Chains A and B, each alone.
Chain A
């Protein structure tokens, strides 16, 4: 049993994959709490797809994919802010326009490459087994930046998410906090590129946090539980990938989804079973 657990990680690329997957799982899940609470899932998904042209450009020009993705994510994040600033275009409309345009641009660029299908698959669905030592350093650095910012600005993120009016009265600019959140979201998507890819990063942002919201009552607990679920999902996904020879990114997301289904059915008070049992008790009390 011990060997079964440790065997995969005697290989250097598997060790790197493990560290990268754990980092991404934790960062996505923690930041994802705000994505879920603020109903920003659409923005996260759109931003993830919109970094494709940056990745494609980096791939063709031969510089770091992460750097390309980072630049594209920041450009798109600020583009959305710019289009909606005047108030004539709604945010979801702006997101929709930029998201589709950037995705198309990315696909056009990638389709000029000979190994189109394989490359696109790696970008869309991740290639955690191909994480290099330098990638890992950058991933770890960005993960620390995101987590440290979330901890440091806990109070500001909380009040802007819960009551933007109070935030403004208290001298905390919701616009500034939102911009910081967008940058963190961009960084998170960039490091997720390697493990789950642009197609599935939204799931890692939303699913563990939504699971944690069913199990907890306060934001700090929600973040902690979400981080644990994200890390466990990454671990389980990697094992599945190694032993069953399936795509690692998709396996990670499926593991996270399994946790969500368990919580959705069995969670105390908020789970399907609990609510169902209470409904039955109530109706039998009425009839009895």
Chain B
């Protein structure tokens, strides 16, 4: 677990993706360098999850291309899904979940080996979850559940980590521990994309922000990207401007079109 990982850089060129019959991403071009940590910000239905799934190769591109540095075989991807995509009553323990992160390197039929279990336990340890390794997922708090999924991502030893709305529906302590993990991944050079609604968090904790609303509205350093103009363009009527501060009204997001 102590070995230094190398992040993966990648480029999107004119990527168009359809999802559920409508255009979810339109002419998206961007270049992310190895080891970068990018906050992907946009309203609901902006295509944040679609972008992640396209990067993971889970959705076909209608047109355009995604180039990974060193070729597609270089990709070691970990994906932390949104909370509502997981059945939290499923009869698995913390350790069971983290072990699933090792399946990618096992291939079909072969069982997890002692080394995989060691890696899984070390990942749990890193998030302070080792004492709860045998605890069923259903008996963990929301924050502990999130930590288990972060530990699973670490056990995958990724060079590209995608986190889909990890701060939605969790408390401050989870947010803090997640950001701590991101800091240590930065030291290891792992490329990270994290989607969020939270403009403050994006500008304070990330060197790069991608403002997305089906198209790339702006991409770059936070102070260049987060301007009244671009935020209004991304969020429309949900963005309120009060005395120079930008407030995003997420109370009642409009239905996805």
Q: Which residues of A contact B (CB under 8 A)?
A: 37, 152-153, 155-156, 158-159, 161-163, 165-172, 213, 216-219, 221-222
Q: How many angstroms from the CA of A169 to the CA of B111 in the assembled complex?
A: 18
Residue of B56, B92, B109 touching A218 (CB-CB under 8 A): B92
Question: Which residues of B from 219 to 238 have beta carbons under 8 Å from A?
Answer: none
6 A-B contact pairs sorted by A residue (CB < 8 Å): A155-B106, A156-B109, A163-B85, A169-B104, A217-B93, A222-B91
Q: How many angstroms from the CA of A80 to the CA of B138 in the assembled complex?
A: 33
Interface centre among A168, A169, A222 (most CB of B within 10 A): A169
Shortest Cβ distance from residue B166 to the other chain A in the assembled complex, whole angstroms: 15
Closest residue on chain B to residue A168 by CB atoms: B58
| Contact residues in B for A171 (Cβ distance below 8 Å) | 104, 107
With A162-B100, A163-B100, A217-B136 as known contacts, state yes or no: A169 contacts B91, CB within 8 Å: no
With A165-B81, A166-B79, A170-B103 as known contacts, state yes or no: A152 contacts B93, CB within 8 Å: no
| Contact residues in A for B81 (Cβ distance below 8 Å) | 163, 165
Chain B, interface residues (CB within 8 Å), range = 20 to 34
Shortest Cβ distance from residue B144 to the other chain A in the assembled complex, whole angstroms: 15
CB pair A217–B91 under 8 Å, yes or no, is yes
CB pair A165–B90 under 8 Å, yes or no, is no
Shortest Cβ distance from residue A98 to the other chain B in the assembled complex, whole angstroms: 25
CB pair B108–A156 under 8 Å, yes or no, is yes
Q: Which residues of B contact A (CB under 8 A)?
A: 53, 56-58, 77-79, 81, 85-87, 90-93, 96-97, 100-101, 103-104, 106-109, 111-112, 136, 138-139, 152
CB pair B100–A166 under 8 Å, yes or no, is yes
Q: How many angstroms from the CA of A170 to the CA of B77 in the assembled complex?
A: 9
With A159-B100, A162-B87, A165-B79 as known contacts, state yes or no: A219 contacts B92, CB within 8 Å: yes
| Contact residues in B for A213 (Cβ distance below 8 Å) | 91
Q: How many angstroms from the CA of A168 to the CA of B103 in the assembled complex?
A: 11
Closest residue on chain A to residue B76 by CB atoms: A169
| Contact residues in B for A152 (Cβ distance below 8 Å) | 109
Which 4 pairs from chain A and chain B are nearest by CB?
A170-B104, A217-B136, A170-B103, A219-B91
Q: How many angstroms from the CA of A219 to the CA of B100 in the assembled complex?
A: 14
Closest residue on chain A to residue B105 by CB atoms: A170
